[in-house]
């Protein structure tokens, strides 16, 4: 049976050492494609290590594609040749599977799900164990309405070091996802105010305001940023915007418009700006853009961000930074609330940031996303449809827009056609409330959750079914 000596393990962890041994044997051809690996239990017993260690090593190998599992049978060595051979784009669609299982797609360009291999499970597991061991008092302490001091302070450091934002930890409020904070903001600024959102824009933001029973105004948004005349004519009190990277257009609001917005806000006592900076971590090229919050000297901007994009949407941790006056008001009116995020998650995340893991993780993710973007753009440029499309705003965030010059079907028909082939995609027009002003034939390619394999298949499908030019 397969066996390894742990004599040269050095400072490596058992599981990681075992993972490397097996991986190297696969790469060297000592373990052949299709060969069955020993069962976890037997292997563990044989090596004198725990089953969990073997399990972790297998899981890592499996996640990276070196081995695969067959339910109730075991683990097998994958075919390395197949993995390295990215299939040609042209021809042979017949062999491409179509998806019929609802919720299971060949490629889902609408998903924000994080790729399993990218989430730092082992670090997270280590840190949460440490927190459960070291911070028992803190874990059970009555949670403050703002969130734990540890997390607020870690976020403050992060904002200072990586975004040049000065945020007093005492002005930071932790929320259970952005939606939760939108609701808190309505309670803070008032149910009687008019909230302005960008059109096109993120539909959930509007949905949350509507569910909170406030008046909502959709304000046109284009390359020049949000339309200030419309903010005025609609009587908006609170403008909810994403100046660093608007969704779905990817547009970065020009600096002149930023100052204009601050001017707008400063003219009335009850005007405020919510700067929703939800994925600015992932601008992949270009200089970082200073936040509205950091150029505001009048206390009119609420800065808001989330860990949904940078870690996982299932984590449900977001935060906002309030200016002095609003912080005092929050304290007076809303401090009876308990922060809705589990303390042990807050404390774990604080360690994750403070011990430098968050920075490393972001770098890793940025590299991954950059590769994804480059791959997708290369695949498109190598495809036949490359002559029919143009790509825009690919330098900001985790998606870009693809426009078909000519398409002899509607956006809805095109989406439906793609869905039948296993591809889920949004049209830019889906994000417009004002349907009189739709942008036909432009689609949003959010590539963040897809593997290279999925991207390859998706582009091949797109290439074939692109409707005939008129």
Contacting residues toward a second copy, per CB under 8 A? 13, 15, 50-53, 55-56, 59, 111-114, 116, 119, 121, 124-125, 128-129, 132-133, 136-137, 139-143, 149, 168, 170-171, 176-177, 179-180, 183, 187, 190-191, 203-204, 207-208, 211-213, 312-317, 324, 327-328, 331, 333-334, 336-345
* Closer by beta carbon to a second copy, 67 or else 251: 67
CA distance 387 to 389: 6
* Closer by beta carbon to a second copy, 204 or else 371: 204
Token pair of 12 as six digits: 């490596």
Q: How far is the CB of 457 from a second copy (least distance, A)?
A: 20
CA distance 249 to 226: 12
Q: How far is the CB of 43 from a second copy (least distance, A)?
A: 15
* Omega of the bond leading into 350 within 30 degrees of 0 (cis): no
Cβ density class 314-344: b for 16+ within 10 Å, e for less = ebbbbbbbbbeebbeebeeeeeeeebbbebb
CA distance 353 to 134: 17
Q: How far is the CB of 383 from a second copy (least distance, A)?
A: 29
Q: How far is the CB of 93 from a second copy (least distance, A)?
A: 29
CB 173 within 8 A of CB 218: no
DSSP output for 181-219? HHHHHHHHH-TTSEEEEEES--HHHHHHHHHTT-EEEEE
Q: How far is the CB of 115 from a second copy (least distance, A)?
A: 8
Q: How far is the CB of 177 from a second copy (least distance, A)?
A: 6
Q: How far is the CB of 404 from a second copy (least distance, A)?
A: 28
Nearest to 34 by CA among 26, 43, 24: 26
Query: Around Cβ 76, how many Cβ atoms within 10 Å?
Result: 16
* Closer by beta carbon to a second copy, 231 or else 345: 345
* Closer by beta carbon to a second copy, 57 or else 460: 57
* Closer by beta carbon to a second copy, 46 or else 50: 50
CA distances (Å), 123 to each of 58, 86, 296, 351, 358, in order? 18, 32, 37, 10, 10
* Closer by beta carbon to a second copy, 143 or else 397: 143
* Closer by beta carbon to a second copy, 135 or else 253: 135
The edge-to-edge listing of strands for the beta sheet with 426-427 is: 389-392, 399-404, 442-446, 426-427
Q: How far is the CB of 460 from a second copy (least distance, A)?
A: 25
* Closer by beta carbon to a second copy, 264 or else 369: 369
CA distance 339 to 143: 6
Q: How far is the CB of 154 from a second copy (least distance, A)?
A: 15
* CB-based contacts of 118-124 (< 8 A; 24+ apart in sequence): 118/364, 118/365, 118/368, 119/311, 119/312, 120/352, 120/357, 120/361, 122/56, 123/352, 123/357, 124/348, 124/352
* Closer by beta carbon to a second copy, 312 or else 386: 312
By CB atoms closer than 10 A (0-12, 13-18, 19+), residue 393 is middle
DSSP output for 270-309? T-EEEEE-TTGGG--SSPPPPPHHHH--SS-EEEEEESTT
Q: How far is the CB of 158 from a second copy (least distance, A)?
A: 19
* Closer by beta carbon to a second copy, 342 or else 403: 342
């Amino acid at each position: 049976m397969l066996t390894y000596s742990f004599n040269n393990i050095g400072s490596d962890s058992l599981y990681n050492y075992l993972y490397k041994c097996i991986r190297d044997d696969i790469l060297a051809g000592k373990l052949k494609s299709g060969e069955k690996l020993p069962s976890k239990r037997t292997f563990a017993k044989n090596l004198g290590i725990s089953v969990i260690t073997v399990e972790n090593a297998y899981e890592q190998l499996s996640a990276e594609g070196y081995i695969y599992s067959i339910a109730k049978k075991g683990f097998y060595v994958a075919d390395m040749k197949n993995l390295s051979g990215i299939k040609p784009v042209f021809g042979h669609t017949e062999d491409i599977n179509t998806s019929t299982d609802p919720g299971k797609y060949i490629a889902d360009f609408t998903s924000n799900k994080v790729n399993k291999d990218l989430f730092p499970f082992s670090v997270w597991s280590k840190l949460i164990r440490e927190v459960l061991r070291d911070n028992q008092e803190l874990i059970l302490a009555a949670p403050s309405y703002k969130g734990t001091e540890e997390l607020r302070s870690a976020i403050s450091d992060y904002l200072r070091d990586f975004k040049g934002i000065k945020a007093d930890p005492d002005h930071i409020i932790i929320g259970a996802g952005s939606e939760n904070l939108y609701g808190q903001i309505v309670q803070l600024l008032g149910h009687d105010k008019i909230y302005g959102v960008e059109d096109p824009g993120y539909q959930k933001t509007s949905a949350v305001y509507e569910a909170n029973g406030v008046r909502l105004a959709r304000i046109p948004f284009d390359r020049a940023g949000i339309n200030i005349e419309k903010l005025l004519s609609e009587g908006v009190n609170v403008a909810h915007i994403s100046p660093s990277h608007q969704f779905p257009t990817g547009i970065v609001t020009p600096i002149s418009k930023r100052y204009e917005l601050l001017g707008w806000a400063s003219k009335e006592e009850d005007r405020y700006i919510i700067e929703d900076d939800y994925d600015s971590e992932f601008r992949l090229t270009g200089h970082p853009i200073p936040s509205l919050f950091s150029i505001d000297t009048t206390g009119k901007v609420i800065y808001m961000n989330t860990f949904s994009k940078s870690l996982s949407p299932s984590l449900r941790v977001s935060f906002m930074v309030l200016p002095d006056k609003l912080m005092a008001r929050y304290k007076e009116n809303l401090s009876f609330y308990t922060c809705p995020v589990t303390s042990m998650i807050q404390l774990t995340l604080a360690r994750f940031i403070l011990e430098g893991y968050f920075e490393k993780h972001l770098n890793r993710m940025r590299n991954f996303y950059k590769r994804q973007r480059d791959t997708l753009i290369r695949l498109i440029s190598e495809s036949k449809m490359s002559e029919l499309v143009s790509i825009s705003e690919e330098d900001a965030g985790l998606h870009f827009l693809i426009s078909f010059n000519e398409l002899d079907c509607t956006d809805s028909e095109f989406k439906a056609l793609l869905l039948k082939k296993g591809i889920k995609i949004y049209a830019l027009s889906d994000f417009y409330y004002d349907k009189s002003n739709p942008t036909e034939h432009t689609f949003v390619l959010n590539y963040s959750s897809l593997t290279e394999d999925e991207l390859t298949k998706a582009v091949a499908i797109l290439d074939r079914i692109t409707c005939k030019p008129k």
